[in-house]
Chains A and B, each alone.
Chain A
Amino acid sequence: MDVMLYSALVLGVISLSYALYRKSWIERQDPGNEKLQEISKNIRDGAMAFMVREYKVMVVVVVAVAALLIAFKTRPGGLNLRWIGLSFVLGAILSGLAGLIGMRAATRANACTANAAQKGLVPALHVAFTGGSVMGLSVVGLAVIGLSSLVLFYVRFLGVSADNPQSMIDLMEIVSGYSLGASSVALFARVGGGIFTKAADVGADLAGKVIQGIPEDDPRNPATIADNVGDNVGDVAGLGSDLCESYIASIIGAMVLGAEMLKSMTFMALPLGVASVGILSSIIGTFFVRTREGGNPRKALSLGTIGASVLMLVGVFFLLQVTLPDAAMEGVGFTRMGLFLAICAGLVGGVLVGLITEYYTADDTKAVMEVARQSQTGAATNIIAGIQVGMLATGWPVVVLVAAMLGAYHFAGLYGIAIAAVGMLGTTGIQLAIDAYGPIADNAGGLAEMSKMPAAVRERTDKLDAVGNTTAAIGKGFAIGSATLTALALFVAFKESAGLEVIDITKAKVMGGLLFGAMLPYVFTSFIMGAVGRAAFQMIEEVKRQFREIKGIMDGEGKPDYVSCVDIATKAAIREMILPSLAAVTLPVLVGGLGGTEMLGGVLVGVTASCVMLALFTANSGGAWDNAKKYIEGGHYGGKGSDAHKAAVVGDTVGDPFKDTAGPAMDIVLKLMSVVSLIIVKMGFVTNPLF
């Protein structure tokens, strides 16, 4: 066990050190001319202003929740459960720190990427991917450092041992706080960032492109800086916190089962061992991301992911041979090979869900071309076609996830399901690096436009951006798939912790819980869609005001007030993220407190089914609308300015908050509610329900 814990700690440190080294490399790159640096600074300042205000709210929440957790009583004879407060705070701090480091690197890398694009595609890809890898490797590094340190600390100082199974159960209860801390930060980062990014994007598009006829990323548009800030706070920091939380929750879910179900310190530590192999594979995988001038950046990025995945499978195979002696396998009900195959099922499942998402959302696929075709008859048919694609796209991913789940269960029982989630998220380091590359390339394109770089440079950044759109779609699928398996792992841990043999859905209470759970994602989505709409409305009014009151914006003699647009998006995001976030946290507490564990189990079933479908639906329909518009802009059905294009713009605008606010938020809601449920069950909060 110690070997796995220490190797996780060491690899976490290596990952973080390598991320910081790459960050310093980014900082040494030429950020370009004065204009480029000025715009980049505006974006960085806007992003930091948002993060500071967001983190101020988070600090209040984190302190309040930590106080509540510390107030819980310790069971007689058990460990001091008040340590959960420390776990919670550390989880929140490290998750927030990962987002911050990643975003700082991204907002620096954007200008360097635009500047490097003057030399060619290869240096630009290298800078953008390096910027993304800071995020990916920081997230996994910090997550594993925190988790392994906590476990090592508690094992040493609280006297946890396999001889005392209750101490292991208590340990997991304390460590679960780490996941809750990461989840809390992720919720705010994802919801707040999502509202910011889409309020700015929709506002910039409608006020600039549609009303004023200004192209994308034109510096005359007062909302254009806010739009670019949104890419960073939503797609970099938000996504980073999301996957960080999945990563941590999947590991902890499997650790809980290892400790409570298998009552084995080795199986408790194994998820950290698998994560270590994943980290090493991800670091090596970053070296595979290479292309030559005129080459395809998408292939280079895919090579990195595939390379890391293969390396991880090989590494895990040997890890299992080395760390699981025959004695450890006695009585667990599965074999080493079974465990290996369960991890394979998770890893392959994650890749497949990403590829299926790409199939439904890439701009040259049948589904997207059909949405484009339907745009010829107006916005209504475009919307109908997008909804149809989104709904259809829930099919195969669910089939894959069910197959992965059943396969993992077949090979290694309930523990197999949990370790499959760890397998799926094992390569989060490189996966997240590729995801974060997208918004950096997108920002670089915006900077190239705003600083009026030569056409050849802008075409290079456009090429990188196009690849980023594809990787973003794959990343969304991966995030949903991983959230689903993580939630399943947490659900299994919940069931074990609650001591439930079955959850009988014929009981009215359970069915009621199920319906409550199924309802929440829709109400939650309504909150945040409404928030985006309201904030976008404010943004449009502000942009129109500036065009009206600031003379000379259109001929370039007057300067727009970018700060006020950033401020509107920031205030709206901070204000609007609180209510839905509270709803997601309080529902399991209320239901658990009032209806007990079985009803809470019903809630988790309902919320899992509903969140997965809604996340897949919104991500895929939003992606299909987006790329249908891009397909038309590529010169199809009349291209830019055609009626089909106008219809596709409407669809894309509807789809923006679908895919970038509502969909990603579902991942968090799903995991957060599972983590909250697990913790309140462990703390005995639901043992004496009122009903």
Chain B
Amino acid sequence: MTPNYYFTLFPMEALIASQHDPEHFGTYMATGSRDGSSDPLIFIAVDPSFPGFDWEYAKSECVPHPDGRPKNSVYLSIYRVLERIPLAALGDLYLTTRDGRTLALPKQAYVQSDPGPAFHVYQELCPVHPLVVSKLAPREFGQYITGAKTKLQLPKIAFADLKVVDFDNLENSGNIGSLYDRNIAHLKRCVESVTSGSPKATKTLERSHVESFTFNIIKSGIYLSDGTDMAVYPMPSLDELRARAYDWARSALII
């Protein structure tokens, strides 16, 4: 049985070999083999056709248990993983809820919405986790973060484009979780900061923000960028979720 390779980008960065298919791998990682964990997970299938990792080690270790059970996981790396994986090697992305249900998001080409909104809120997912407000569209934001002009440059970035609340109608927010619960006033200031005509492209809303990130706040999708190329994983619409992923959407607190 050939191992599958998964790059987990949230909540921890790792490259893992496993004999499970993505659904089972997601359940195993989210809920553990026994009682213990209950964490959401974002991971991407990886085609092991590039150097930089010990694929032979993975093949030799990722073998069934003596009783025939498939091997759950063999960790190949847990440090600076994203920067070493070419975007072209990335396959489908999977969103696993904390109760272990997995939704596959196929990789697609980037489409610039025109005109885009005046600002975006991005949750950086890997390798760092700040929550930022930006007037840049996803492609430009990826280029900005990975560009040489940026003082705090990253080699690659994975981030999610998030839903934004209507400041004039906070009550009718929709199901977006707790991300903005404690920082609405600061969010307003950040939005003003990037939209008031100042040269500032992005403004940090929170420095590290992972605990309150939930799938129900993802708006257009999840993006990975190295500055030149982008891997885009659009989020299905509510109607699509109802039609093809109802159980997942319930577990993800969307429905």
Q: Which of A's residues lie within 8 Å of B, judged by CB? A: 211-215, 218, 220, 373, 376, 452, 454-455, 458-459, 544, 547-548, 551, 554-555, 633, 635-646
CB proximity of A316 to chain B, nearest CB, Å: 47
| Candidate in A212, A214, A218, A636 with the most chain B CB atoms within 10 angstroms | A214
Q: Which residues of B contact A212 (CB under 8 A)?
A: 31, 38, 98-99
- Asked if B2 is an interface residue, CB under 8 A from chain A, the answer is no
CB proximity of A644 to chain B, nearest CB, Å: 7
Residue pair A642, B33 in contact (C-beta under 8 Å): no
A-B contact pairs, 10 of them (CB 8 A): A211-B38, A213-B98, A214-B251, A633-B175, A638-B175, A638-B178, A639-B176, A640-B177, A642-B173, A642-B176
Residue pair A638, B176 in contact (C-beta under 8 Å): yes
Contact A554-B99, Cβ < 8 Å, known A640-B216, A642-B178: yes
Contact A635-B38, Cβ < 8 Å, known A455-B246, A458-B246, A554-B31: no
A643 to B173, CA, bound (A): 13
Q: Which residues of A contact B34 (CB under 8 A)?
A: 547-548, 551
Residue pair B251, A635 in contact (C-beta under 8 Å): no
- Which residue in chain B gives the minimum CB-CB distance to A218? B99
- Which residue in chain A gives the minimum CB-CB distance to B182? A643
| Candidate in B33, B250, B251 with the most chain A CB atoms within 10 angstroms | B250
- Which residue in chain B gives the minimum CB-CB distance to A644? B181
Contact A215-B24, Cβ < 8 Å, known A551-B34, A636-B173, A638-B173: no
A551 to B250, CA, bound (A): 23
- Asked if B171 is an interface residue, CB under 8 A from chain A, the answer is yes
- Which residue in chain A gives the minimum CB-CB distance to B26? A555
CB proximity of B241 to chain A, nearest CB, Å: 9
- Asked if B172 is an interface residue, CB under 8 A from chain A, the answer is yes
Q: A458-B246, A639-B174 are in contact. List 6 more A-B contacts (CB 8 A).
A: A212-B38, A213-B38, A452-B247, A554-B31, A555-B27, A638-B180
A373 to B172, CA, bound (A): 11
Residue pair B251, A215 in contact (C-beta under 8 Å): yes
Residue pair A636, B178 in contact (C-beta under 8 Å): no
Q: Which of B's residues lie within 8 Å of A, judged by CB? A: 24, 27-28, 30-31, 33-35, 38, 97-100, 170-178, 180-182, 214, 216, 242-243, 246-247, 250-251, 253-254
Residue pair B35, A544 in contact (C-beta under 8 Å): yes
Contact partner of B35 (CB less than 8 A), chosen from A455, A547, A637, is A547
Contact A636-B171, Cβ < 8 Å, known A376-B181, A555-B28: yes
- Which residue in chain A gives the minimum CB-CB distance to B177? A641
Q: Which residues of A contact B176 (CB under 8 A)?
A: 638-639, 641-642
- Which residue in chain A gives the minimum CB-CB distance to B181? A643
| Candidate in B33, B178, B214 with the most chain A CB atoms within 10 angstroms | B178
CB proximity of A208 to chain B, nearest CB, Å: 9
Residue pair A213, B99 in contact (C-beta under 8 Å): yes
Residue pair B97, A455 in contact (C-beta under 8 Å): no
Residue pair B31, A635 in contact (C-beta under 8 Å): no
A459 to B250, CA, bound (A): 12
A574 to B181, CA, bound (A): 44
A555 to B242, CA, bound (A): 21
- Which residue in chain B gives the minimum CB-CB distance to A646? B178
Q: Which residues of B contact A459 (CB under 8 A)?
A: 242
CB proximity of A368 to chain B, nearest CB, Å: 13
CB proximity of A608 to chain B, nearest CB, Å: 41
Residue pair A641, B97 in contact (C-beta under 8 Å): no
Q: Which residues of A contact B100 (CB under 8 A)?
A: 554-555
Residue pair B251, A637 in contact (C-beta under 8 Å): no
- Which residue in chain B gives the minimum CB-CB distance to A216? B250
A554 to B254, CA, bound (A): 20
Residue pair A635, B27 in contact (C-beta under 8 Å): no
- Which residue in chain A gives the minimum CB-CB distance to B173? A638
Residue pair A641, B175 in contact (C-beta under 8 Å): yes
Q: Considering the complex of A and B, which 3 residue pairs feature the smallest CB-CB distances, nearest first?
A: A639-B175, A640-B253, A641-B177
| Candidate in A212, A554, A637 with the most chain B CB atoms within 10 angstroms | A554
Q: Which residues of B contact A454 (CB under 8 A)?
A: 246
A646 to B180, CA, bound (A): 14
Residue pair B24, A555 in contact (C-beta under 8 Å): yes
Contact partner of A641 (CB less than 8 A), chosen from B24, B178, B243, is B178
Q: Which residues of B contact A213 (CB under 8 A)?
A: 38, 97-99, 251
CB proximity of B19 to chain A, nearest CB, Å: 14
- Which residue in chain B gives the minimum CB-CB distance to A214? B99
Q: Which residues of B contact A214 (CB under 8 A)?
A: 99, 251
A551 to B174, CA, bound (A): 36
Contact partner of B27 (CB less than 8 A), chosen from A376, A554, A645, is A554
A212 to B251, CA, bound (A): 11
Q: Which residues of A contact B180 (CB under 8 A)?
A: 638
Contact A455-B177, Cβ < 8 Å, known A211-B38, A551-B33: no
CB proximity of A600 to chain B, nearest CB, Å: 53
Q: Which residues of B contact A636 (CB under 8 A)?
A: 171-173
- Which residue in chain B gives the minimum CB-CB distance to A458? B246
Q: Which residues of B contact A646 (CB under 8 A)?
A: 178
A544 to B34, CA, bound (A): 11
Q: Which residues of A contact B246 (CB under 8 A)?
A: 454-455, 458
Residue pair A640, B251 in contact (C-beta under 8 Å): no
Q: Which residues of B contact A544 (CB under 8 A)?
A: 35
Residue pair B99, A455 in contact (C-beta under 8 Å): no
Q: Which residues of A contact B172 (CB under 8 A)?
A: 635-636
Residue pair B38, A639 in contact (C-beta under 8 Å): no
CB proximity of B128 to chain A, nearest CB, Å: 23
A198 to B176, CA, bound (A): 29
Q: Which residues of B contact A637 (CB under 8 A)?
A: 170-171, 173
A458 to B27, CA, bound (A): 24
Q: Which residues of A contact B181 (CB under 8 A)?
A: 376, 638, 642-644
Q: Which residues of B contact A215 (CB under 8 A)?
A: 99, 247, 250-251
Q: Which residues of B contact A644 (CB under 8 A)?
A: 181
Residue pair B243, A455 in contact (C-beta under 8 Å): yes
CB proximity of B55 to chain A, nearest CB, Å: 27
Q: Which residues of A contact B251 (CB under 8 A)?
A: 213-215
- Which residue in chain A gives the minimum CB-CB distance to B214? A641
